[in-house]
C-alpha cells in the first residue's frame, strides 16, 4: 500500500475515533511535513490544530465528502420518484377523508358467574378497574423485591 493510501486509511480511522496515539502522532507529523494534495488542505489545517493542542479557537470544520455526479443523479431520481408516488397517492378531492378510530378494548370480554359479557360500553369500567388493581399488585411486588434485595 503506497503512503497516500496508508494515510487515507489512517484519516478514515481517525475520523471514526479508532486511531491509537501513535497513529495520531504519525498523522500530525505527515500533514505537517508532507506535500499534501490540495483536496486534503482542510485536513492539513485540522491536524495542525490537533497537533498544536487544540488551542481555544474555533476548530476547523470536518471536511464534507464530495458528492459525485453519479450520486447526485441517483438522489435526483429518488426525489422525483418519491414526488410521483406522493402525487399518485394523494386524494383527488372527490373522496372525503376517512377517520379511523381504534378502541383498545375491542375484543375484550369478562366472564362473571359463568356469563360472558362482551359489550364494551358495559365492561369498560371493569377493565379499567382490573388494570388499576394489576398496577397495585405490580407495585407491591416491586416493593417486596426491593425489600428482599436489601435484607438478604
User: Are residues 21 and 69 located together in one domain of the fold?
Assistant: yes
User: Are residues 76 and 138 located together in one domain of the fold?
Assistant: no
The series of mean pLDDT values per 10 residues for the chain, 152 residues long, is 83 88 88 84 85 72 72 83 77 59 70 81 81 90 87 75
Any domain includes 136: yes
Check residue 36 and give its pLDDT.
Answer: 84
User: Are residues 3 and 39 located together in one domain of the fold?
Assistant: yes
User: Are residues 78 and 119 located together in one domain of the fold?
Assistant: no
Any domain includes 123: yes
Any domain includes 103: no
User: Are residues 51 and 116 located together in one domain of the fold?
Assistant: no
User: Are residues 8 and 55 located together in one domain of the fold?
Assistant: yes
Check residue 58 and give its pLDDT.
Answer: 63
Any domain includes 101: no
User: Are residues 65 and 137 located together in one domain of the fold?
Assistant: no
Check residue 138 and give its pLDDT.
Answer: 92
CA dist 49 and 76 (Å) reads 37
Check residue 32 and give its pLDDT.
Answer: 87
User: Are residues 63 and 133 located together in one domain of the fold?
Assistant: no
> What's the total number of domains in the chain?
2
Backbone angles phi, psi at 15, to 5 degrees: -65, -20
3-class secondary structure per residue, 45-105:
HHHHHHHCCCCCCCCCCCCCCCCCHHHHHHHHHHHHHHHHHHHHHCCCCCCCCCCCCCCCC
User: Are residues 69 and 132 located together in one domain of the fold?
Assistant: no
Write out the three cell numbers for 21: 496515539
Any domain includes 14: yes
Contact by Cβ (8 Å): 53, 43:
no
Domain that holds residue 115: 110-151
User: Are residues 76 and 127 located together in one domain of the fold?
Assistant: no
User: Are residues 82 and 19 located together in one domain of the fold?
Assistant: yes
User: Are residues 78 and 123 located together in one domain of the fold?
Assistant: no
Check residue 126 and give its pLDDT.
Answer: 80
Any domain includes 97: no
Amino acid at each position: 500500500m503506497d503512503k497516500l493510501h496508508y494515510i487515507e486509511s489512517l484519516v478514515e480511522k481517525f475520523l471514526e475515533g479508532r486511531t491509537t496515539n501513535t497513529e495520531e502522532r504519525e498523522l500530525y507529523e505527515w500533514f505537517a511535513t508532507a506535500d499534501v494534495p490540495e483536496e486534503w488542505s482542510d485536513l492539513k489545517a485540522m491536524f495542525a490544530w490537533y497537533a498544536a493542542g487544540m488551542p481555544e479557537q474555533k476548530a476547523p470544520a470536518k471536511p464534507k465528502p464530495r458528492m459525485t455526479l453519479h450520486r447526485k443523479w441517483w438522489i435526483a431520481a429518488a426525489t422525483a420518484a418519491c414526488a410521483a408516488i406522493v402525487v399518485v397517492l394523494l386524494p383527488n378531492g372527490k373522496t372525503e377523508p376517512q377517520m379511523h378510530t381504534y378502541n383498545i378494548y375491542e375484543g375484550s370480554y369478562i366472564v362473571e358467574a359463568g356469563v360472558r359479557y362482551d359489550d364494551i360500553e358495559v365492561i369498560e369500567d371493569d377493565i379499567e378497574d382490573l388494570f388499576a388493581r394489576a398496577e397495585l399488585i405490580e407495585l407491591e411486588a416491586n416493593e417486596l423485591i426491593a425489600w428482599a434485595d436489601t435484607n438478604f
